[in-house]
Chain A
Amino acid sequence: MKVALFITCYNDTLFPATGKAVVEVLERLGHEVEFPAGQTCCGQMHWNTGYQAEALPLLPRFLLQFEHAEAVIVPSSSCVAMMREHYPIMAERIASEGGDATLPQRTADLLPRVWEFSEFLTKKLGLTDVGAYYPHRVTYHASCHGLRSLGLGEGPQTLLKSVRGLELVEISNLEQCCGFGGTFAVKNADVSSAMLSEKTQAVLNTGAEECTACDNSCLMHIQGALHRQRTGVKTKHLAEILAHTEADEAVEDAPVAEVTI
Chain B
Amino acid sequence: MSRVPLDPRTAPTFQAAAKTLLGDAQLRKNVRHATDVIQSKRRKLVEEKRDWQQLRESGRQIRAHVLENLDVYLEEFERNFTKAGGVVHWARDAAEAQEIVVGLVKEVGTREVIKIKSMTTEEIQLNNALEAAGVHAYETDLAELIIQLGEDQPSHIVVPALHKNRAQVREIFRRTMNLPDLGEKPADLAEAARKFLREKFLRVTTAVSGANFLIAETGGICIVESEGNGRMCLTLPETLISVVGIEKVLPRWQDLEPLIQMLPRSATGERMNPYNSMWSGVHPGDGPKTMHVVLLDNGRTDVLADREGRQTLQCIRCGACQNACPVYRQTGGHAYGSVYAGPIGAILTPQLMHMEHSQTLPYASSLCGACYEVCPVKINIPEVLIHLRNKIVQQNGWYAPESLAMKAVGQVFRSERRFRAAQRLGRIAESPLVKSDKRTFAIVGQKQEENTGWIGWLPGLLGGWTSTRDLQEMPKETFRDWWEKRGKQ
Contact A224 B471 (CB under 8 A): yes
B482 to chain A: which residues have CB within 8 Å?
16, 19-20
Q: A201 to chain B: closest CB distance in Å?
A: 12
Contact between B368 and A189, CB atoms less than 8 A apart:
no
Question: Out of A40, A58, A181, A186, which one reaches B368, CB within 8 Å?
Answer: A181
* Contact present for B472 and A51 (CB under 8 Å): no
What residues of A have a CB within 8 angstroms of the CB of B178 in the complex?
Answer: none
Q: Tell me if B489 is interfacial: C-beta within 8 Å of chain A.
A: no
Give B5-22 interface residues, CB cut-off 8 Å to A. Answer: 14-15, 18-19, 22
Q: Which of B84-92, B263-271, B290-298, B413-421 contacts A (4 or more CB under 8 A)?
A: B413-421
Flag B252-272 by CB within 8 Å of A: 1 or 0 each: 000000000000000000000
Decide yes or no: A35 and B469 within 8 Å by CB, A40-B416, A148-B368, A148-B373 being known contacts.
no
B470 lies within 8 A of A184 (CB): no
Contact of B15 among A38, A175, A188 (CB under 8 A): A188
The one of A49, A177, A185, A224 that contacts B470, using a Cβ cutoff of 8 Å: A224
Q: Are B365 and A181 in contact (CB under 8 A)?
A: yes
B464 touches A189 (CB 8 A): yes
Residues of chain B contacted by A194 (CB below 8 angstroms) = 22, 28, 330-331
Query: How far, in angstroms, from A55 to B15 measured CA to CA in the complex?
Result: 26
Residues 448-489 of B contacting A (Cβ, < 8 Å): 454, 456, 461-465, 467-472, 474-475, 477-483
Task: Assess the A179–B470 pair: CB atoms within 8 A.
Answer: no
Contact between chains at A13 and B14 (CB < 8 Å): no
Q: How far is the CA of A186 from the CA of B406 in the complex (A)?
A: 14
Residues of A within 8 A of B175 (CB): none
B183 contacts the other chain (CB 8 A): no
The main secondary structure of chain B at its interface with chain A is helix
Which residues of B sit under 8 angstroms from A196, Cβ to Cβ? Answer: 468-469
Question: Is the CB of A54 closer than 8 A to any CB of chain B?
Answer: yes
Residues on A with beta carbons closer than 8 Å to the beta carbon of B469: 185, 193, 196, 221, 224-225, 228
Q: Do A52 and B468 form a contact, CB below 8 Å, given A16-B482, A181-B365, A181-B368?
A: no
Known A185-B464, A190-B15: A20·B368 in contact at CB below 8 Å: no
Report the stretch among B93-101, B120-128, B153-161, B389-397 that lies at the interface: B389-397
B38 beta carbon closer than 8 Å to chain A: no
Q: Which residues of B contact A51 (CB under 8 A)?
A: 390, 393, 403, 406-407, 410
Q: Which residues of A contact B368 (CB under 8 A)?
A: 144, 148, 177, 181
A220, B364: Cα distance in complex, Å: 21
Per-position binary interface string of chain A over residues 191-215, scored 1 when its CB falls under 8 Å from any chain B CB and 0 otherwise: 1111110000000000000000000
Instruction: Compute how far the CA of A224 lies from the CA of B467 in the bound complex, rounded to whole angstroms.
Output: 11
Q: Name which of A4-12, A95-103, A110-118 contacts chain B.
A: A4-12
Q: Tell me if A223 is interfacial: C-beta within 8 Å of chain B.
A: yes
A155–B163 alpha-carbon span in the complex (Å)? 38
Let me know if B369 and A188 touch, CB within 8 A.
no
Please encode chain A, from 79 to 107, with 1 for each CB lying within 8 Å of some chain B CB and 0 for all others: 00000010000000000000000000000
* Contact status A184-B365, CB under 8 Å: yes
Q: Please judge, given known A-B contacts A51-B406, A52-B390, A58-B413, whether A227 and B454 are in contact too, CB under 8 Å.
A: yes
Complex partner residue of A177 from B366, B403, B463, B475, CB under 8 angstroms: B366
A40 engages B367 (CB within 8 Å): no
Task: Report the minimum CB–CB distance from A73 to chain B (whole Å).
Answer: 13
B interface footprint on A153-196 (CB within 8 Å = 1, 0 otherwise):
00000000000000000000001110111111111111111111
A167-B422 Cα distance, complex, nearest whole Å: 40
C-alpha gap A17/B479 in the complex (Å): 8
Complex Cα distance, B97 from A142, in Å, reads 47
Measured between C-beta atoms, what is the minimum distance from A164 to chain B in Å?
Answer: 22
Residues of A within 8 A of B299 (CB): none
A254 within 8 A of B: yes
Query: Which residues 374-408 of B sit at the A interface, judged by CB distance below 8 A?
Result: 383, 386, 388-393, 403, 406-407
Query: Closest Cβ of chain A: how far from B395's Cβ, in Å?
Result: 10
Q: Which residues of B contact A144 (CB under 8 A)?
A: 366-370
Chain A residues whose CB sits within 8 angstroms of the CB of B365 once the complex forms: 181, 184
A253 x B18 contact (CB < 8 A)? no
17 contacts between A and B (CB under 8 A): A16-B475, A40-B414, A41-B413, A49-B393, A51-B403, A54-B406, A57-B414, A58-B413, A148-B373, A175-B370, A177-B370, A181-B366, A184-B365, A184-B367, A191-B331, A223-B470, A223-B472
Q: A57-B410, A191-B15, A195-B329 are in contact. List 20 more A-B contacts (CB 8 A).
A: A37-B416, A37-B480, A47-B386, A50-B386, A54-B407, A58-B414, A144-B370, A148-B368, A175-B370, A177-B326, A179-B326, A181-B365, A186-B462, A189-B464, A191-B18, A194-B28, A194-B330, A224-B468, A225-B468, A252-B443
